[in-house]
Chains A and B, each alone.
Chain A
């Protein structure tokens, strides 16, 4: 068996940044395609049982991806990614913002800046992602939302926690 693929996940609260690093057992052009081609992206971007649906994607500087995360209960969370810089097969960055389904940006929801770096060694490709938020409060809101999206795939214990959180909000 091949050695396991590197996976690093760290949250730096002082810079409001999430760092995700992952190695893939594939050549760089393929991994690059998986991150930049809308058809391929939709096959993996949403954690199960959520689905990613890209309405359109113009992968170029100044271009945009407009997509939704669709939940098992029919929920739709729309977002845009505005591509701000692209160096083919090396790096790209975008600004991420939540929108409604008419593509209007929701100013109350935290946006974030994403930097993605790609490199290949020995047939394996490493992708380093830095997701920078405006403030720690924004980051925490995102973590909380991520938690909710991940909720359907998790354990009863987490259901208990969510109930608790809902109660706290009511009492607050």
Chain B
């Protein structure tokens, strides 16, 4: 019989190994699942983990999909470290797309063609503000009414989806679009420039890496970031030290809302170049997994963002190459997180053989 024994101090080694163990175990379980479905397990794993990176085009797609995941997750990491549980990043992402897209539409409709640097800055800035606005509703309700940020942020996701629907079916519908629900295509001056020619990868990826660096600086080298984390770890100590928990709440939600909004604007101005009812693909929720697999650390988040992007694309490929159902990808994501959480216990506990407990 095995027993768990608390370690005197958390194991640094396990903190690094744990995600790798989790990935390995998930891969193993995946292989078993493939075999049970009558598919070649090696080929199955190859499709999920290697095919997505096969060649420049494919890799660019992985990085393209990872970009919004990383940006949203960075914001969430700041939030969760402050113990503010923003589950509604999806909604803030949508509002960011609406705000940024709205600005792009306004420029397009009025024929205003600015130098790209200027127009992009405007669009992305609007995205950030849009996301921050949506998150500030959550902050307000928690600040003034004590309402749980988990529930409010989640409910606002559904509301955000309807806002998008309303705009795209109504006031923002493309007049030349045969009454179909989509906006005009944005003017070329508002498109994010490509990073690699002939791929869809745009400079947003660089922005994401930059954001990771800035987040690292904020979290580990700035006073505010430090105060935020202390507030999350030990609220009483933070209060004693004079760190305002109210300030922390607004800062945490502002940052995570702004980042999610930025990601939304980048998607609208990047691959989509218009607004449709389909800008919402659950990225805001997948980003939550990225945060945890990335151990709430900016570098880890970049790695985890790429990993999860691979898994998502792998799931698509598994359909067309192996005939496997689309749901498999969510199964693996959920499995990865569950296994990760389980293997995380090894950071705090050692596995030991049972000892006889002597009475007394």
A and B bind: no
Q: Mark B residues whose CB is within 8 Å of A.
A: none
Q: Give the B-binding residues of A (Cβ under 8 A).
A: none
